[in-house]
Structure 1
Amino acid sequence: MSDIDREIMRVLPDAATQSDYLSTPDVYRRLTSTVPNLPSPKTIYRHLARLEEEGLVEMDQRGTASVWRRKAGASGLAAKGGAMINFDEALALQTLRRFSSRQIPELVAESLTPLFEIAETRLRKTNSETERKYSRWAGKVAVESGGFALHYPVIDRDNFAEVSRALFEERKLEIVYRPRHKTDNDQAKVVLPFGLVEVGGLVYLVAGTEGKANPTMYRLDRLWGAKAMLESFSYPATFSLDAYVRQQRSFDFMVEKEVLLKLKFFSGAGEHLLEAPMSKDQKSTRKDDALYVQGTVMLSQRLRWWLRSFGPNVEVLGPASLRAELAAEAVELASIYGE
């Protein structure tokens, strides 16, 4: 399969998930924004006709126009896996599909839909008691988030596809971004995509801007439009997404400084910290019915949210400024509920 064939297959709707078709001019228009030195529409038509002969594409006649879509299961993995998939692989795929609860895995897994369907069919066709155990396994596992369940904004799949394509191919990305303070913005800007991060159920694009030293974060659900450009850029050798997220703590919301946090827990509230420490230098002691824990952490809004979640079952002993801040909040809360 040639590069042009792969690009054509990429832009065509998939019969497994979509009922739409694209006309030859529509296919050509979609390719113009992603394929340099694109051949003529007649050449694209010949490629489409050959893909149909190979059983990878479906064609329908609408009057005098030919319309096209990708045949269900025509992706390389699904085409090869249909006849060969065994029960272990089918179970792994169904488990992946069921428990990919985060947005990024869910969005990228759309391309695996034909494989998931093959796996589901395979698990239904059981010929022995061992195979029936496989088919029942998915109903014996559950995953629940430890936090309060929120309904996060939906990310437009077309925008996500453009963002991820530009990120993978290191191309410039044109976006229309509508932040909370400017929800009617329709001005496009060009950014340099550096990475995708999912945090707390929200997905962010980390992107640079030519002429600016530091990258900016854009929430994907606030993208009103996104288009991968033909123009490429040099991904900065000095940028590390891992360092940006973990060392600079850029997603901890209003990061301030490192502090030595000292806590006193009641009623067993902090027991989980003995197995999942809040810092590498954490220390803990017990006295009477209380658990004392201390460690060096980054002071941020997220830390405050975490401490508030324990209610009256935690006392902040230090730093003094944070203790005073939460004490003042407690006084305000008392006045609200006292009424």
Structure 2
Amino acid sequence: MRPLARAAAVILSVCALAALYADAARAGAWDDVKIDSKADENESIVLTAKEEALVATLHNASATTAANPHPTRYKRITTVLCQRTESVFQPQWLREACQSNETTMTELECPPEAVALEGLWTSVWETENDRYGPWHALNRGSCLVAADLRAEAQFAFEVLTIPAPEPSIQPTQWALVNVHSPVSVTTPVQRFDVELLGIPVVLEATATTFTWNFGDGSAPLVTQDPGRPWHEGDPIPDESWVGHTWTRKGTYPVTMTTTWQGRFALAGTDAWEDVDGDVTTTSTVGPIQVLEARSQLVDGTLG
């Protein structure tokens, strides 16, 4: 190869490596430092249950609290980075760490219901040296499943803004004393795309219970039946329909509280995990004006 061509090839090679490491840095490949799994403000790194148990065994991490001034530090490193130890663009700490660890940095294959995570590295405080020690690879990667994000999914579901369903009463603005008025609500399953510790997750909310308060001092109606609206040709609604019968005239505000239960799955998978507890939303209908109908004899045909 001619000297000029060889120089051009070297320049291209260096530029390609520079682009590789610039992209990796932007993606947080070595810049994301996690303090004790979930005790730091940086939530970009997640530990699987197996990794947390391993860390607790190796570094007594179970005794570490957020108040600890020297908690274990964590990084996730893509497997390709330790294959570029000769690059001048690789940080010194990473070059030394890759050369001092014997962990095989190979690609990890995970089942369809899991997400592959890069290798987990840790650095612990060395009291005798009054500084953090070198980075050590704990594994070549992990397969994260939905259950590993249960605590994060629980919190995300509790603070999730679920659009309240729109209930209906027939008739829509008025009712008659001692005449049963049907109520109903449409509640399709609602899904939300979120990220938990940087992992794409689908949260699902399903309505399980409906609590109606009809504003007249009667006990709330609690049911798992969303009810059904009356249509032309249906029998006249009676007490078997989800609804209410007002016994006196007046104007009454009506509220309906929906109780939701949740579950979640890693995006692109169908391995669902239930969320403990439930959340509620409240909808308002009306106010409903309740009238009294009176019969009266007339001389002749009305209308």
- From the CA coordinates, give the structure whose radius of gyration is larger: 2
TM-score range, shorter chain: under 0.3
Q: TM-score, normalised by structure 2?
A: 0.18
Q: Name the structure with the higher helix share.
A: 1
Q: Name the structure with the higher strand share.
A: 2
